[in-house]
Amino acid sequence: MKANKEEDVQFETFLHQNGREFICAVRAGKRYYLDDWHSHDWQFFPERWYSEGTLVPLNTGESHGQNRVPSARNADDNDDRVGHLKHPKRGKVQTYLMEERHYVHFFFDKYSGKWLRLPIGWELHHELVKQMVDHVEEALPKWRDRADILALLRACNYNPDECIGTYLVLEEDDWLLPQRTSKDAKADEMKDEKIQELTEKLHKLESELLAEKKARVEAEQQLSELVEKYSKISADATSAQRQVEAMQQSRPKTARPKTPQVAIVPLVSERDLEELNQQVKNLHKTHVRLKMDMLRNIGSINAVISDAIKAASDLKKSDVGSKQELEEIRSLYQREALQRRLLYNQLQELRGNIRVFCRPRRDDRARNCLGFPSDQDITVTNQDGGKKTFSFDKVYTSDSTQENIFVDTQPIITSCVDGYNVCLLAYGQTGSGKTFTMMGPDNNPGINIRAISELLKVCSERSETKSFTLKVSMVEIYNETVQDLLTEDTKVLELSMVGNSVKIPNIMEMPVKEVKDIKEIMKLGDSNRKTASTKMNSTSSRSHLVLMITVEGEDKVTGAISKGVLTLCDLAGSERISKTEATGQRLVEAAAINKSLSALGQVFLALRESQLHIPYRNSKLTQILRPCLGGDAKACLFVNISPDVSNSQETCNTLEFGSNARQVALGQAKQNIQKKGGGFPPR
């Protein structure tokens, strides 16, 4: 249906007797309805529907004093309140001028006899306003402009919490940042120069360290050569000395003449003596020369050794200094990264975003298609070599343990004792490890058992000031029917919507006082659950399991009563029917599962786009999860995936679902605390 700008279009809501809602429009006497389930387009209104439901004008559900804000895709071009602005980072942003009830501060001017608007300079001295501004300054220490704070407080209708949240959301916006002064530019320039100086110093120290190492190696090599040469010369000198001694000993003595008359005949000729004498002189000269060379070389060797020892000492000192500077730089980086992470978590807490954790199943037999660049990013490579990257609040590896998973969710779970509603969901294809994460075996329990054990522990620690009562109920959603798993006949339950709350009449609630109680309850509920064998898993869950733990606490002094509900949901497997090869009853079950998961995805899409109509009624699953997704609860989603490359398409679909859910902002969670005698909305 294409509406003409010059014709009036009247919008209505059609409430069908099966519980579904449709947006209708009347133009030129013809009525149309928006088919958001199949064609996602306007269709003619069937005649038979007039007897099957009720038509309600679209504006009957509005509160007085408020405007109905159009969605981004359905804005009327004739409405002069609709506008756009071009943001340098967010691109084209749609705006809408809404009329809301606003507080305006006046003062009475006795000279004119009129009430006049209070100037900002005067209002900053008002006691109540000063307290609001001080509260904002305490929460945001970096924001020191009190006049700017008061201006935003006026825009936020004097709501300090909304003012703080608005500032945190728009903190990094270039249009809202103050003008940079020459002092800021000079400070940044000095920081850059300091970083450049440290970098150059680090490179210089590394070069000097490399040169010192090279000189040390050369000195050690030269020392080795000199020692070898000294040993050789010493051996030659010893050999020459021994030869001289041997020749002196072998020289014969001159015979005595017996009588003067007998002539003396020499035994050794003078020529031999002269040659021998010359050899002795030469050996003596060689010995002296070798001795001098040895002494001189020993001196140079000692000098080389001293230089080498000094160089090694200097090298060690410079190495220690470089390591200290590197450690300081590394420590500074780690502090900055930790501070950014803490600020991000605070912002997520204020926005109420759904926390999304990714856990791959360990399978040593599979051909792996997953990569883990960091603890917040994961890559998937398909069979054709294509790669996709996804980011989440936490990405676990295949080696992660049940303890690792629970430690990261423990702060969210234990806030249930303080009166917060908390919801944990496990989503993924069949066989990806959802039930292992939520239930786990007896010797390695999952989140369910660990969460209730931790709640019992926290309640016991606070028993001196509060008295607590824990009750557990357990249902499954099978073929769009809600069945109680804690009764022998697994009776069918009906859901009743009361505002954003869901009432489940006649549901069985069992008290829990110790860990063995919850183990018996879980065993009873698990035995009644619907499972069947499929191609993907021999014991595939054919229903959604919802475990609800209600924690009520009463203050022993004030009598104030707190009530928190922890909802743990193990969703059935999400995959294409063709992949499971289901037939008969299994095919009917698979169709019901995919319908409910599709409805959950539509709710996430509507919440992410802040649509006026959230389709909770399209499935029993979304109806029972409405209190968790309606804005008062803390929500956490586990996306479980398979590492096998043959399942890469289903893995990408699961990760896409998690990425979309991560962009949903539920708003800041609220505590459910009532004074003694008050009441809570029904579950």
- Write out the binding residues for ATP: 428-435
* Residue 235, token pair as written in the block: 């051996």
Three-state secondary structure call for residue 518: helix
Can you read off the two tokens belonging to residue 538?
């021999």
The tokens of 31 are what?
Answer: 């009525």
Partners of 549 in the beta sheet?
Answer: 472, 566
**For residues 540 and 525, what is the distance between their CA atoms, to the nearest angstrom?**
16
- Residue located via tokens 């408020």: 66
- Integer CA distances (angstroms), 375 to 274, 338, 358, 391, 436, in order: 93, 14, 10, 9, 21
* Helix %, strand %, coil % of the chain (to 5): 45, 20, 35
Contact call for residues 559 and 675 (beta carbons, < 8 A): yes
Cα–Cα distance between 105 and 158 in angstroms, integer? 10
Of the candidates 358, 347, 384, 357, the residue with the CA atom closest to the CA atom of residue 369: 384
User: Which of 401, 361, 364, 368 has the alpha carbon at shortest distance from 383?
Assistant: 368
* Angle, helices 270-351/182-250, rounded to nearest 10 degrees: 160
Q: What is the rounded distance in angstroms from the CA atom of residue 202 to the CA atom of residue 326?
A: 8
d(CA 446, CA 434): 10
Q: Do residues 534 and 586 touch, judged by C-beta distance below 8 A?
A: yes
Structure tokens at 613: 């109509």
Contacts of 660 (CB under 8 A, 6+ apart): 601, 604, 605, 608
What is the rounded distance in angstroms from the CA atom of residue 423 to the CA atom of residue 548? Answer: 9
Bridge partners of 503, per DSSP, are 496
Count of CA atoms in the C-beta half-sphere (13 A) of 263? 2
Are 567 and 628 in contact by the 8 Å Cβ rule? The answer is: yes
The CB density around residue 312, as the number of other CB atoms within 10 Å, is 15
3-state secondary structure of 473: strand
| Residue that the structure tokens 């009532």 belong to | 674
Residue 549 near residue 471 (C-beta atoms within 8 A): yes
Q: Which residues line the annotated binding site?
A: 428-435
Do the bridges between strand 355-360 and strand 633-641 make them parallel or antiparallel, or are there none, so unpaired? parallel
If residue 313 lies in a helix (H) or strand (E), which one and from where to where? Answer: helix 270-351
For residues 544 and 571, give the distance between their C-alpha atoms in angstroms, rounded to a whole number.
Answer: 5
Q: Which residue has the tokens 């992410």?
A: 608
